[in-house]
Structure 1
Amino acid sequence: MSYKLSAPSRRHTNSYKWDSAPTADVIPLWVADMDFETYPAITEALQRRVAHGIFGYTRVPDAYYEAVCRWFASRHQWHFTPSDIIYTSGVVPAISAVIKALTLPGDQVIVQGPVYNCFYSSIRNNGCETVSNALIYNKEKLRYEIDFDDLDKKLSHERARILLLCNPHNPGGRVWTRSELTRVAELCHKHGIRVVSDEIHCELTLHDYSYTPFGSLPDGLSYGSITCCSPSKAFNIAGLQIANIVCR
């Protein structure tokens, strides 16, 4: 099914991006939501729900969990069950909740900068220490790469508890390869470190780059990992506050 893209004005709609600009001549390019209308099927489903006219407390139906499982199985060959999913309101609160659950104040959480700023606040707000495994910029290949020697060193610290992975990476733009993720998993397994992977941008890949869910690695490598994902970026529905925590 095809449809014509439409990009209506978002000013004066309480848009966080457009209505936070100080003046009308500022073109905001800093928030990761699109300015195209979302897919008509989503709008139609919302209109049917609104037509009911009552907006009380709502349970998440089994069909939702089944749809998430089908999506990742068919598109990314990642197989999990509804019982592996915890529904939540967003990836940022999910990351914060996971850090709170898996650490104690003073524990170390490793990040691979440059990375999304909310990683740092989520770590800080839980009383943990941020440890940097900074990415290396390869000038010949024009891309960021993981410093595996430094990662091995940082993972070995006695207070290290979590590697906060970003897959695909924001803002570096890297779609990590299966071999790169496998190496990350091997090192984390070696040191007994849990991987928490932000995969909110998983559907936004270009050309022949292929997204590999961290949780799709063999059980010996991905077991114990936690993936945070959401349809918000790919389908432009961030305002609906939908996200998932998938526990392996």
Structure 2
Amino acid sequence: MGNFTKQPQRTGTRSVKWDRAKSIYGSNDVLPMWVADMDFKVPAEIENTLLARVNHGIFGYTITDKQVDEAVINWLKKRHGWDVNRKWLTYSPGVITSLHMAIQALTSVGEQILIQTPVYTPFYHAVEKLDRKLVTNSLFLENDQYRIDFDDFEQKLCEGTKAFILCNPHNPGGRVWTKSELKKMVDLCIQYDVLVFSDEIHSDLIYSSAKHVPIASLSEDASKQTVTLMSPTKTFNLAGLQTSFIVTSDHKKKEKIQRQFGKQGIHFLNTMAIYALEAAYKDGEAWLEELLQVLEENRRYVIDAFKETDQIHAIPPEGTYLIWLDCRNMGKDQAELRKWMKEKAKVGLNDGVSFGVEGEGFMRMNIGCPRETVVEGVGRILAALE
């Protein structure tokens, strides 16, 4: 089905992950395992669909029609047990674009927006660049899993918070929030009339130990309180095509979001994005099942490999192809840790503090790559420790 065994040549393709590695890490011999895209070719079904569209040779304005809607709806029903009406769908170039639009459409300058830290860096940017007030609810590690401090969470909600940005599955920690955790969060948001902007871009990348539950699927009230942001781009390695969608059951909220897109002059997805999205959701499931097995094996390898040392511990993720490495036992401050990784281990990872102050002493590793790359990256780190 898919080719998951050999590392493809990505340098010279204007790849952020590979062609910017030297400018970021200062050397050509640093192995890039940072930015969240995968080193795997897309499913043949997507590739063939795009080639056929290219061969047509005309690239005028393109619509998202009923067939595209149905591909999304059927996917959400089959993979997540979520019944979605096509009237709830809005298409967008990306999840972060959607988040910016939702914040601008549904909150006002100066209003408080809550995030759970450490968390995906663009959440900070979305709040601060749009002149909203950032409020944080720090997650805490317990038995190798991030947990929610619900007392602090509720306190922050009742102090005037307007919206809460949920990351599920969590990036960088890899938690897939349980149904009971999600219900407790959304019930509190309903109680204090706090909007939920739920980033579920990694929702298809779930390991066998967990199950993804869209927070909006929990109840009709939860659905009305929530704006869900989803995309096939992480699942099928399509980030460069810029395609995503928003699910909003409250038609007034949806209309406000769509008006905000219009204010920014965003009216269409690009042609290739539409065809890739439809092909992914119609014909990509068998490839995804194979990918999940590859990621599960990579995950197991990394966790087991770092058991050889007491200086670095891999937090086992329940979802995503990202692993959060706890390097606090190395006894280095963050600047020393960054320098050590790029100059001694020669592996390019994401800096833990870019996800918040709670990331001090951590680094994020991308395992969405062939086994040989994972083995090489982990091996470099272990060899440098010795």
Query: 1:3 and 1:118 mapped to 2: Cα distance?
Result: 31
Query: 1:208 and 1:129 mapped to 2: Cα distance?
Result: 36
Matched, 1:119 2:123: yes
Cα shift readout 1:59-99 (whole Å, capped 9, x = no counterpart): 11221111100100111110111110100000011101100
Which residue matches 1:94? 98
Q: Secondary structure at the match of 1:183?
A: helix
Query: 2:3 and 2:93 mapped to 1: Cα distance?
Result: 30
Shift of 1:218: 1.1
Aligned pairs for 1:61-80 within 5 A:
61-80=65-84
Shift of 1:24: 2.2
- Further displaced range: 57-66 or 173-182: 57-66
Contact 2:215 2:222 in 1 (8 A): no
Which residue matches 2:191? 190
Which residue matches 2:32? 28
Q: What stretches of structure 2 of length at least 5 have no aligned partner?
A: 250-386
Contact 1:205 1:211 in 2 (8 A): yes
Q: Which of 150, 153, 158 is residue 148 of structure 1 equivalent to?
A: 150
Amino acid at match of 1:82: R
Which residue matches 2:18? 18
Aligned pairs for 1:195-206 within 5 A:
195-206=196-207
Cα shift readout 1:109-132 (whole Å, capped 9, x = no counterpart): 000010000001111121101100
Matched, 1:157 2:176: no
Q: Secondary structure at the match of 1:7?
A: coil
Contact 1:185 1:222 in 2 (8 A): no
Identify which of structures 1 and 2 has the higher relative contact order when contacts are C-alpha pairs closer than 8 Å and 6+ apart: 2
Query: 1:169 and 1:93 mapped to 2: Cα distance?
Result: 19
Q: Secondary structure at the match of 2:186?
A: helix
Cα shift readout 1:196-223 (whole Å, capped 9, x = no counterpart): 0000000111122100011111113332
Which residue matches 1:37? 41
Q: TM-score scaled by structure 2?
A: 0.62
Amino acid at match of 1:36: F
- Of structures 1 and 2, the larger Rg is shown by 2
Contact 1:201 1:234 in 2 (8 A): yes
Query: 2:48 and 2:110 mapped to 1: Cα distance?
Result: 48
Query: 2:7 and 2:86 mapped to 1: Cα distance?
Result: 35
Q: Secondary structure at the match of 1:223?
A: helix
Q: What stretches of structure 1 of length at least 5 have no aligned partner?
A: none
Matched, 1:229 2:233: no
Matched, 1:82 2:86: yes
Amino acid at match of 1:13: T
Contact 2:2 2:41 in 1 (8 A): no
Give RMSD over aligned pairs: 1.1
Identity over aligned pairs, percent? 42
Query: 1:142 and 1:216 mapped to 2: Cα distance?
Result: 27
Q: Secondary structure at the match of 2:74?
A: helix
Q: Secondary structure at the match of 2:19?
A: coil
Query: 2:37 and 2:140 mapped to 1: Cα distance?
Result: 28
More helix by share: 2
Aligned pairs for 1:101-116 within 5 A:
101-116=105-120
Equivalences, count: 244
Q: Secondary structure at the match of 1:234?
A: helix
Contact 2:12 2:19 in 1 (8 A): yes
Which residue matches 2:241? 240
Amino acid at match of 2:29: D
Matched, 1:7 2:20: no
